[in-house]
Amino acid sequence: MAAAFFASALGLWTQPAGSLSILWPASALLTVLLTRHPSLAHPLSWAGAFCGLVLASLLRTSMSWPAALSYGVIDLLGVFVAWSILSSHWSPAHLRSPQAIGRLLLACAAAAATHTAIALALSPWLRPGIPWSTIALNWFIGQLLSYSAFLPPIMLLPRPLTRCRDHRQSWASLLRRMAKETRLLPIATLAVSLSLCFLLGGPGVAVFPIPALMYCALTYRQLTTAWITLLTALTVLLGISHGWLSLGEVQHLAGLQAWDMVSLRLGVLLLVTSPLLVSSILAARGDLITALNLALDHDALTHALSRPAFLRRAAEHLGRSPAPPQGNALLMLDLDHFKLLNDQYGHAAGDQALKAFAQTIRTLVRPHDLFGRLGGEEFAMFLPGTSERDSHDIAERLRLSVEALTVPLDSGPPARISVSIGVVHDTHAPHASLSLLLAYADQAMYQAKRDGRNRVHMHGGPAARPLDATEEPTCPLPSNNAPKAP
């Protein structure tokens, strides 16, 4: 009820004497609340929203009770249509394409058409003497503008923190990203264009900021662009409605003819939708580039780093200066008897074993460790900032986890797999290149194979010491709930 009341009061603040409000945010804000918080969509909430809409009309204007009730019904039915279309599925990610923004604008148009149809049915009583075509165009475009201005920026906000599992989408992280991405030139350009609106005025004031908003859309994220666009539209509309912006011969909004009001609203609608569509195109392109980079850097079957990506990132770690005081470790991991598994159960079973093995490893390593597939059943891990003892203990923990793993098969009992691991620490090969460390780790891995498989062998260090399953390493691995490494 409070949300409906204050949103209605804001809309009534833009209402000139004897005319409709130039902007009506109440319907759009109620749609957002009901869509983002499905628990609110029950009869009591709808009744409270209706009371808030009616109460605002009665307190802000001299409207009669029957008229206030009628306008409340019109708004609530429009909200119901928009909510019905948008509530099936939504998330900020769903709006990152021109098609998704188009569907959102279609929902806005459907809601605006509902407002218009009911308003036309009641027009002989609510606004007698006004032609139906004037009412239809003004009401439809006004509601479409209000929905299009307020829905996208609020719908693009991340989910509430209590429901947000990904820390990258938290409110604090969002504010940090927005502050980090802020570049002053587009904002300065927009400020200049708005200043020209106030200084020059004239019929074209609604489109003055569009080039600057396009610049913002090309520079900022989609969410930032949406909010900048909304604030710009509010500045222009409030300036016009209160006479701060001159419209040429007409100095105030109340002096506009009905068709002039239609033209003005169409101009502001263009101002709102153009940067939004441009930013959605750029967001979709950015998502595509990210997906392509992910596909290039990761193995499609196991989702481990691809060989080129692993080698590149490991070399970057080795080249850092100064080097970590504990040194770095490199592990070579090879599944035992993998060819026999393929021959006995088929390649589908082999693929299943590789996926299960990689998933197990990813849940156990630390966030900054690198895990990659070098080819076939051969994998590698780079452990930056890890001592020699800790690297051995980590390798042993990985071996025990794989040994306990069962791989479900399409037919027959689950298969069991094991892994042989070779470990090299760069304290035994000072200033060695990555290729040399890989060769040493490969030698250690083959020595583990010769020693009987399903074991860990350290290159150049003390003999491998079996680690009991109940013994805790000095560098404990994170729990399964810890963030996964790439």
String of DSSP letters for 318-355: HT-SSPPTT--EEEEEEETTHHHHHHHH-HHHHHHHHH
DSSP state letter for 250? B
Phi, psi dihedral angles at 333 (to 5 degrees): -120, 130
List Cα–Cα distances, 282 to 121, 180, 294, 298, in angstroms: 42, 19, 18, 24
Amino acid at position 416, single letter: R
> Comparing C-alpha atoms, which of 302, 323, 300, 319 is closest to residue 311?
319
Distance CA 479, CA 367 (A): 11
Which residues have a Cβ under 8 Å from the Cβ of 392 and sit 6 or more positions away? Answer: 423, 456, 458, 461, 464, 465, 467
Asked if residue 117 lies in contact with residue 157, where contact means CB atoms within 8 angstroms, the answer is no
List Cα–Cα distances, 334 to 83, 226, 441, in angstroms: 54, 50, 11
How confident is the model at residue 481, as a pLDDT? 35
CA dihedral 193, 194, 200, 202 (to 10 degrees): 100
Amino acid at position 364, single letter: L
Please list the residues that pair with 370 across neighbouring strands: 382
Number of other CB atoms surrounding residue 436 within 10 Å? 13
Q: Token pair 């306990």 is at which residue?
A: 404
3-state secondary structure 354-388: HHHHHHHHHHHCCCCCEEEEEECCEEEEEECCCCH
Q: Is the peptide bond before 322 cis (omega within 30 degrees of 0)?
A: yes
Asked if residue 273 lies in contact with residue 149, where contact means CB atoms within 8 angstroms, the answer is no
Check the CA dihedral 125-127-129-130 and report its sign. negative
Number of other CB atoms surrounding residue 211 within 10 Å? 13
pLDDT tens sequence for the chain (486 residues): 555 555 555 555 555 544 556 667 788 888 888 888 777 777 887 888 778 777 766 765 566 777 778 878 888 888 888 888 887 666 656 677 888 888 888 889 999 899 888 888 876 666 666 666 777 777 888 888 888 888 888 888 876 544 444 444 455 665 666 565 567 889 999 999 999 888 887 777 778 899 999 999 999 988 889 999 999 988 888 787 777 777 755 544 444 555 667 777 888 888 999 998 999 899 888 888 888 888 888 888 999 999 999 999 999 988 886 778 888 999 999 999 999 888 888 888 899 999 999 999 998 888 889 999 999 999 999 999 999 999 999 999 999 999 999 888 777 788 889 999 999 998 887 778 899 999 999 999 999 999 999 999 998 744 444 434 333 333 333 333 333 333
Distance CA 126, CA 220 (A): 44
Asked if residue 409 lies in contact with residue 352, where contact means CB atoms within 8 angstroms, the answer is yes
Quick one: residue 453, left, alpha or beta (phi over 0 = left, psi -120 to 50 = alpha)?
left
Q: Token pair 């583990």 is at which residue?
A: 448
Distance from chain centroid for Cα 141 = 30
Amino acid at position 253, single letter: L
> Quick one: the chain helix, strand, coil %, rounded to 5?
65, 10, 30
Asked if residue 237 lies in contact with residue 22, where contact means CB atoms within 8 angstroms, the answer is yes
How confident is the model at residue 474, as a pLDDT? 36
226: enclosing H helix or E strand: helix 222-241
How confident is the model at residue 467, as a pLDDT? 38
How confident is the model at residue 176, as a pLDDT? 62
Distance CA 428, CA 447 (A): 17
Amino acid at position 336, single letter: D
> Comparing C-alpha atoms, which of 279, 277, 274, 173 is closest to residue 220?
279
Amino acid at position 482, single letter: A
